Structure 1
Amino acid sequence: MSTRRSGSSRKKKGPTKGSGGQGRRKLEGRGPTPKASDRTWHKNYRPPAPKKKTERTTDAVAGRNPVVEALEAEVPASTLYVAGGVEMDDRIRKSVRLAADRGIPVLEATEAQLARITDNARHQGIALQVPPYEYENGIDLVVELMDDWSKGYRHKPPLVVALDSITDPHNLGAILRSASAFSADAVVIPSRRSVGVTSTVWKTSAGAAARVPVGQVSNLNSALTEYKKAGMFTIGLDGDGDQSLPGLPLATEPLCVVVGSEGTGLSRLVAENVDQIVSIPISSELESLNASLAAGITLYEIARLRAKID
């Protein structure tokens, strides 16, 4: 006699028909469990490190005159690019000839390629690719100049221009040009918060960046202290200086001229550390001189005074 009640059914052990397929569909696409450090909601989550900005490993001099000047000055270069179908003139022909004489490859480029190579500068259909500038050690450079002078290897006392946070490449290029014109031995820049030798500097300097060495220091104030230990005098340019530039007494001594930044001038620590603050007399108190112009005027006056003792 059966004991089952009416309407009841016996459940079978194990999965029902088709349950395996249903389970596979539910798990489909989930993959392995992510690590705790990858789960944004987990206490051990670690966000990915920000990507480092890619630095350009090369630079380019753009424009017909700057390229000719750079090649004539034997600026280190890797490739000369000329736009396909560009109207040839004497400057482009000269650039191609100078590059060939130096063994620099000459390649045809499209307008888009030239725009990328020159960072959208006005290239006039030609660009010269140059490697990163190789700076000298700004302290060793000056110490060596002083050592050569003290031993009689140099006729004139060393003259150096140091830049206190100059950030405009046009100013650096113009200062290099003045340094070359008035026989300065070197230009020194800080490694931080200061413009370096870029394609704009090459262009503005008209090749002077290849004639005047540029030294780099980690701290300008500390470098000035080392210069003074080596026997060099230091002056800073400022409108409120206690010494007027004409007839500068220190002009004929080993000298470092410090030029302040475009906006704020000399930093406080540098102003306190230099031997003398020098001002350039101007006719109007409402006017101020651009950093590169002030450097050029000062270097001219120093060259004029030094010429009197030759």
Structure 2
Amino acid sequence: MPRGGDPSAPRGGTNPPPSGGFPPVPGRRGGPGRAVAAGGVWLHGLHPVAAALANPARRLKRLLLTEEAEATLAAGLPKPWRIAAERVERAHIASFLPEDSVHQGAALLAEPLPDMPLDRALDHGTGPILVLDQVTDPRNVGAILRSAAAFGAAALVMQDRHAPPETGALARAASGALEIVPVVREVNLSRALDYLKKAGLWVVGLAGDAPVTLAQAGLGGRRVALVLGAEGEGMRRLTREHCDELARLPIAPEMESLNVSAAAAVALYELVRG
């Protein structure tokens, strides 16, 4: 299901969402973590652009495509699209993006998606909720969103002031999942964990020093909120204290830890497998 704001709400811009299609997810106000250039966000790469074009909640502003990219997108997403494409050369697209961007001949200027309130996120699906404690690398967050979509996570929760805003790099790493998995930004992560507990979720923090593995935690039949901390430092003390249980992944002793996005993928697989 595409995520975003209510298409019936008043909006600015010139491309109102069409009727029909998947119902978008209601949004919430932005916060400090939502800071973005006034012109919007440049999404780039075939998968992020195609997913945004297919999401009726996305407010589209400008679409730049090479001839080859336009043909590729049209093969998977038949026209008419909600916005006309400007046919340009690859070098022209690159001039709008950071130097190391891999755009594949496609770039879309769009407004950021509004975040989802936590109470609505719980009803977005029946899968686990992912909670990130100060994971600040946008590529890691994007990769985690991709795994969340692949394994049926209902939402991704982050602290508003210690998480990256929506960017082209994040969307590129998410490979379209940014349009699927709702993002919740909370001012106080500890209060958010308490709310999840009251809603009936079992809050499990992933920690390398935990006494049991995720498989040994006996989570079958429980809906889980899985908490992951930043690489190196892990979860903060207060976050750990608000978990119902700590669990670890059974990795070889020669390796101290996994990249946080890799750990999220393995942990999600274990949760849905069980």
What interval of TM-score do these two structures reach, taking the shorter chain for normalisation?
0.7 to 0.9
Partner of 1:191: 160
SS of match in other structure, 2:161: coil
1:92 to 59, 66, 70: 70
1:226 to 195, 199, 211: 195
Q: How many residues align?
A: 236
Change (3 A) 1:122 1:182: closer
Unaligned 5+ runs, structure 1: 1-53, 149-153, 306-310
Residues of 1 paired with 2:82 and 2:42: CA distance? 17
1:80 to 40, 63, 70: 63
Change (3 A) 1:131 1:100: farther
Partner of 1:30: none
Q: Which has the higher contact order (CA 8 A, sep 6+)?
A: 2
**Does the 8 Å CA contact 2:43/2:107 hold for their aligned counterparts?**
yes
Residues of 1 paired with 2:134 and 2:220: CA distance? 24
**Deviation readout 1:250-298 (Å, 9 max, x if unpaired):** 2421210001012311111001110111110111244311101111111
**For 1:206-221, what aligned pairs fall within 5 Å after superposition?**
206-221=175-190
Identity of aligned residues (%): 33
What's the TM-score once normalised by structure 1's chain length? Answer: 0.68
1:137 to 106, 110, 117: 117
Residues of 1 paired with 2:155 and 2:47: CA distance? 25
Residues of 2 paired with 1:69 and 1:231: CA distance? 32
1:115 maps to amino acid: A
2:110 maps to amino acid: V
Deviation at 1:230, TM superposition (A): 2.0
2:37 to 49, 56, 62: 56
Does residue 114 in structure 1 map to residue 83 in structure 2? no
Partner of 1:273: 242
**Does the 8 Å CA contact 2:47/2:176 hold for their aligned counterparts?**
no
Residues of 1 paired with 2:111 and 2:262: CA distance? 29
**Does the 8 Å CA contact 2:36/2:165 hold for their aligned counterparts?**
no
Change (3 A) 1:128 1:281: same
Residues of 1 paired with 2:170 and 2:56: CA distance? 15
Deviation at 1:123, TM superposition (A): 2.8
Residues of 2 paired with 1:56 and 1:113: CA distance? 20
- Return structure 1 stretches of 4+ with deviation > 6 angstroms: none
Residues of 2 paired with 1:102 and 1:78: CA distance? 12
**Does the 8 Å CA contact 1:163/1:190 hold for their aligned counterparts?**
yes
- Which protein has the larger Cα radius of gyration, Structure 1 or Structure 2? 1
1:272 maps to amino acid: E
SS of match in other structure, 1:101: coil
Deviation at 1:124, TM superposition (A): 3.9
**For 1:1-310, what aligned pairs fall within 5 Å after superposition?**
55-57=36-38, 58-71=40-53, 76=58, 77-82=60-65, 86=66, 88-89=67-68, 91-95=69-73, 98=77, 100-109=79-88, 114-120=93-99, 121-138=101-118, 140-142=119-121, 144-145=122-123, 156=126, 158-305=127-274
RMSD, aligned CA: 2.6
**Does the 8 Å CA contact 1:161/1:187 hold for their aligned counterparts?**
yes
